[in-house]
Amino acid sequence: MGAPALTPPLGIATPVPSAVPLPPAAGVLGRPGRGFFAVRQLAWLLALAAALAAAVLMSLAFGARTVPLPIVFDALAHFEPANGDHAVVASRLVRTVAGLVVGASLGLAGTSMQGVARNPLADPGILGVNAGASLAVVAGIFFFGAAGVSSYLWFAFAGSAVAAVVVYGVASLGRSGATPVKLALAGAAAAAGMGSLMSAMLVTSQDSLELFRTWQVGALAGKSWDAVGAVLPFVTIGAVILLATGRLLNTLALGDDMARGLGHRPGPGRAVSAVGIVLLCGSATALAGPIGFIGLVVPHLLRGLVGPDYRWLLPLSLLAAPAILLTADVAGRVVLLPGEVPAGILAALIGAPVFIAVVRRGRRAEL
């Protein structure tokens, strides 16, 4: 007879053989990338930083009037108000900084939304958060005469929060819960309904329509340093909150039960993340209007480059999203000279095909 199999005493865990593969998401729970993966992620960090720097220079140099790069550097270092080229660079500088703030806000918020909802279709535009902020701003203009970013800001915060709660609550109805398709449908329905309410208010007030007309398409043109300064504290707070949630989002990817087993509290964690998302979405919408698809495109692009670890995805989104938005803004300035296409329209042209591709891939995975 062979020796009897030994059973470990009760309460002593059996070691897991090293040959047993870990679940796909388990690798993101340890230290951020090691060895080859750390080198690859750091390389992409440097590449995206370089891409953002190039987008900033393009934003300062190109437009209806092209300014050579040496003059751009000279204007930044030794500004002369009487110099026409220097004046052009100065006017574009605030627009560029606004693009950095708005792009970083939308990219970070979109990445966090996908992690919190465990939904690849989560995006401030698709889920109706931007539409809620827009409706609240229109209501502020129509009923209270709000004008300027500092006035829009608080209405945008309230509208973003209410829209997020309503969309998630509607999508959660039923046994299957808030599935990606249900969230997208609930967001589209909410956005359509809120759009109708906006139209009802705007057609009855010419003054409200004039204030809202240039803001609604999502543009970086015509911003002031006062407007950027009004949103910057809230963007900073929201970014700090979300950058600290990388480990939580990694555990949420394994499911709520696993997250609790690892010592995290999914409910309060999602609530804290929601605060950061509302601050960023509300600030971006108040400053530049509703710009869609940036928060959808960036996380999918980054996952293909550096993997699913949110401790890398969140900070990298701060570089990739403003680079994409500034590039779209520069393209909008030069594609129809002497006219201009708002950055929000170019962002939608870029993001719509990505959205379709994500939906098609998700449907194939369900079959």
Q: pLDDT tens-digit profile of 301-354?
A: 898 888 889 999 999 999 999 999 999 999 989 888 787 888 888 888 877 777
- CATH classification at residue 196: 1.10.3470.10
Q: Is residue 285 part of a domain?
A: yes
Q: Could you give the CA distance from residue 303 to residue 300 in angstroms, rounded to a whole number?
A: 5
Span 148-164, mean pLDDT?
Answer: 87
Most confident of the ranges 8-12, 55-59, 153-157, 363-367:
55-59
Q: Is residue 319 part of a domain?
A: yes
- Looking at residue 181, its pLDDT comes to 73
- Looking at residue 131, its pLDDT comes to 86
Nearest to 182 by CA among 272, 119, 274, 256: 119
What's CA 185's distance to the chain center, in Å?
20
- Looking at residue 358, its pLDDT comes to 66
Burial of 294 (0-12, 13-18, 19+ CB in 10 A): buried
30 has a pLDDT exceeding 80: no
The amino acid that residue 40 corresponds to is R
Q: Is residue 232 part of a domain?
A: yes
| Dihedral sign, Cα of residue 282, residue 283, residue 285, residue 291 | negative
Q: Is residue 163 part of a domain?
A: yes
Question: Where in the sequence is the domain holding 291, given as residue range(s)?
Answer: 120-360
* pLDDT tens readout for residues 88-145: 999 999 999 999 999 999 999 999 988 888 877 777 877 888 888 888 988 888 888 7
In the chain, what is the straight-line distance between the N-terminal and C-terminal CA atoms, in Å? 50
Q: Could you give the CA distance from residue 151 to residue 140 in angstroms, rounded to a whole number?
A: 8
* CB contact set of 9 (below 8 Å; sequence gap of 6+): none
pTM score of the predicted model: 0.82
Q: Is residue 334 part of a domain?
A: yes
Q: Could you give the CA distance from residue 50 to residue 40 in angstroms, rounded to a whole number?
A: 15
- Looking at residue 215, its pLDDT comes to 67
Q: Is residue 186 part of a domain?
A: yes
What's CA 321's distance to the chain center, in Å?
7
**Mean of all residue pLDDT scores within the chain:** 82
- Looking at residue 151, its pLDDT comes to 81
Q: Is residue 256 part of a domain?
A: yes
What is the percentage of the chain residues whose pLDDT exceeds 90?
Answer: 32
Q: Could you give the CA distance from residue 8 to residue 3 in angstroms, rounded to a whole number?
A: 15
8 A C-beta contact, residue 245 and residue 272? yes
What's the domain count of the chain?
1
Largest CA distance in the chain: 100
Q: Is residue 46 part of a domain?
A: no
| The two structure tokens encoding residue 29 | 């729970």
